[in-house]
Chains A and B, each alone.
Chain A
């Protein structure tokens, strides 16, 4: 052991940065937040040049916590600055609080327990990118987080952290809390912008990117709740402090949401790079001792993994290497009692329901994938259906308008990759060639058109 950093990684399996205030009985109030030195990072930030803050976040290596892991400082740096062309338009910060990815449940407890970290991070970010208006787009179905965020915004206005001439800095910022209306696709940043403009939430063609042509065709940063809530701690602690947790390319702490067949499901904030084996140990192991069968590292759009990946580092690089994606670190854990084709069917029905309809591969593909899977799970499938689904997936992946289509094929292709026999076992008595399907099957297929 050579440094405090090494010592920490040796001992501290969990690193509560975002979650540390949650234990306070009234953690959501501004009084509690101030007791924890809340809004002190804002004072530091407002005394700095905005470009210093962008550089700080670049130096910290913070990567977006909404699933894609894009470097946050770089995103801020893309916003054109100056008084000419696109730069002269108003700039906007839009917070993506539309948490809906199956398995993902980190932003909602964060907004309930500690909304001021999101507000403070949003003010700092707005100052850095020179935005005078910030919108927090909160998923509609979650009223309690919505009112906690609204209350925090009201408290911040009353305390002079929002509005005109914040803390005497000359910086003005208005913040609006906006409720969505139930559409998973609005978690996609350009669909969210269309939705915020009062339209159907359908994704936009990129480029142009939101950085130059976002909300109202003006320069816009769209960031996830957890990403922005992390910003105040980086301003207070510095980039070296932040990098003392996590890995070189995936630095910092991250909220891991463990759900399913474990003894103690819940929110565990740990350095990126921790493994599922370590997290399972912290969560008390598999519930009832029934062995692990499959899991997702970060929601249903991240390919399934199995017990052979227990020691893969849960960071952006480690999960890519394992053939999946880090996503939102929503660890859904399933034991041996769960049928893979059934689980995949349920997810596929979700994507079928949530496909926005804009592009054909996703709209039609998800519809037919759900039909084929339903037929298999009902015992009416044939071995050829497995190939049919893979072919369909091949026509969706990389060919749909946005990432929803890519996400939709993840459970199917990874499910077949690791558990092909389970799909085949569903059709043991079925002929292998769909063209000689039994009359009943043909009737069902015809019925699918109705």
Chain B
């Protein structure tokens, strides 16, 4: 079911205004194919002003190359009519744009205070030792099957499930040094253990394509939407309220809206 490989996730109808949408220039065909150019135009069409497309475009070039290269920066600049220096200034500001080639998988370990206190620091130390790499370094040849880039991450917004880590931005909750080691060992062997919450694991580049707003395959994406998200911690309050019969006050049947305020 991949007859529309470049199907955007959102269906937007936006009129292209040549003043707002500059003509693309200098496409580096050696690195970026026609499909990438088509996707770039679709991204730009989502926004009233083209420059808003820069963050998704950087995700897009990262999905092609596994990092934001000089060629990627030039591609974005060409699509948006910007100077490469303007694009570089943006690309270097954001943590998610990697400046050197990334492994097949990106493993991000939360080492912020809460996770660290519950074992996040120990997990990071263990993985660093196991993979023989430090922050932002890759075990194996970047891009090759089984290659893994390690990073320590800031708070990943799953503190009730601490300590957490992510692979390609999917959640692996309530980890231990042992479970995390098993996980990266499996990744190194070319396996793809499922996340606790999130879609079946793909790879870093496919995740980046999704961040740019595209599904590599619409059917797979639909299944990804419906993959698990439930953790006991997420539901604990709602379950407790249900078990105790605690309810919010009943809403009245008729709720008149306030009158239109008089203009002062």
Contact = CB atoms under 8 A, between A and B. Distances in A.
A117 interface: no
A153 B14 CA distance: 16
A157 B11 contact: yes
A178 B117 CA distance: 33
A257 B171 CA distance: 18
B87 to A, nearest CB: 9
B210 A4 contact: no
Interface stretch (B23-31, B52-60, B138-146, B184-192): B52-60
B155 A176 contact: no
A300 B115 CA distance: 13
A196 B161 CA distance: 30
B241 A12 contact: yes
A142 B46 contact: no
A174 B12 contact: yes
B241 A14 contact: yes
A260 B162 contact: yes
A237 B48 contact: no
A268 B47 CA distance: 37
A236 B251 contact: yes
Interface in B186-242: 197-199, 207, 210-213, 221, 224-227, 229-242
Given A265-B160, A354-B154, A11 B246 contact: yes
B173 to A, nearest CB: 11
Interface string A223-239: 00000000000001111
Given A22-B234, A179-B211, A154 B10 contact: yes
Contact of A109 (B94, B162, B234): B234
A151 B225 contact: yes
Given A141-B169, A153-B10, A269 B95 contact: no
Contacts of A240: 252
Interface residues of B, number: 90
Interface stretch (A44-52, A203-211, A422-430): A44-52
Contacts of B96: 140-141, 180-182
Interface in A53-77: 53-56, 59
Nearest to B52: A198
A256 to B, nearest CB: 8
B260 A334 contact: no
A249 interface: no
B97 A181 contact: yes
Contact of B154 (A12, A113, A343, A350): A350
A181 B55 CA distance: 7
A52 B169 contact: no
B56 A179 contact: yes
Contact of B160 (A13, A259, A334): A259
A11 B236 CA distance: 18
A332 B113 contact: yes
B165 to A, nearest CB: 12
Contacts of A148: 225, 229
Nearest to A344: B113
A144 B237 contact: no
B53 A198 contact: yes
A56 B199 CA distance: 40
B159 interface: yes
Contacts of B118: 260
Main secondary structure of the interface of A (DSSP, over half): mixed
Contacts of B160: 105, 257-259, 265-267
A178 B55 contact: yes
A48 B257 contact: yes
Contact of B114 (A4, A102, A141): A102
A15 B155 contact: no
B83 interface: no
A5 B159 contact: no
A332 B226 CA distance: 30
B199 A154 contact: no
A28 interface: yes
Interface in B12-36: 12, 14
A246 to B, nearest CB: 11
Contacts of B128: none
A408 interface: no
B206 to A, nearest CB: 10
Contacts of B55: 178-181, 195, 198
Contact of A216 (B49, B238, B248): B49
Contacts of B147: none
B26 to A, nearest CB: 19
Given A8-B249, A52-B257, A181-B95, A198 B114 contact: no
B158 interface: yes
Interface string A146-165: 11101101100100000000
Contacts of A44: 255, 257
B38 interface: no
Contacts of B56: 178-179
Given A154-B9, A179-B55, A200-B90, A13 B246 contact: yes
A13 B221 CA distance: 39
B234 A267 contact: yes
B175 interface: no
B113 A102 contact: yes
Given A55-B258, A154-B9, A181-B95, A143 B49 contact: no
B111 interface: yes
Given A103-B155, A146-B211, A265 B94 contact: no
B236 A253 contact: no
B89 interface: yes
Nearest to A196: B52
B1 interface: no
7 contacts: A19-B237, A105-B160, A177-B9, A198-B55, A236-B255, A237-B255, A238-B252
Interface of A: 4-5, 8, 11-17, 19-20, 22-23, 26, 28, 44, 48-49, 51-56, 59, 90, 99-105, 107-109, 112-113, 133, 139-144, 146-148, 150-151, 153-154, 157, 174, 176-184, 195-201, 216, 236-241, 244-245, 253, 255-261, 264-270, 282-283, 300, 330, 332, 334, 338, 343, 346-347, 350, 353-354, 356
* Top 5 closest pairs, chain A to chain B, by CB: A198-B54, A182-B95, A266-B236, A266-B233, A181-B94
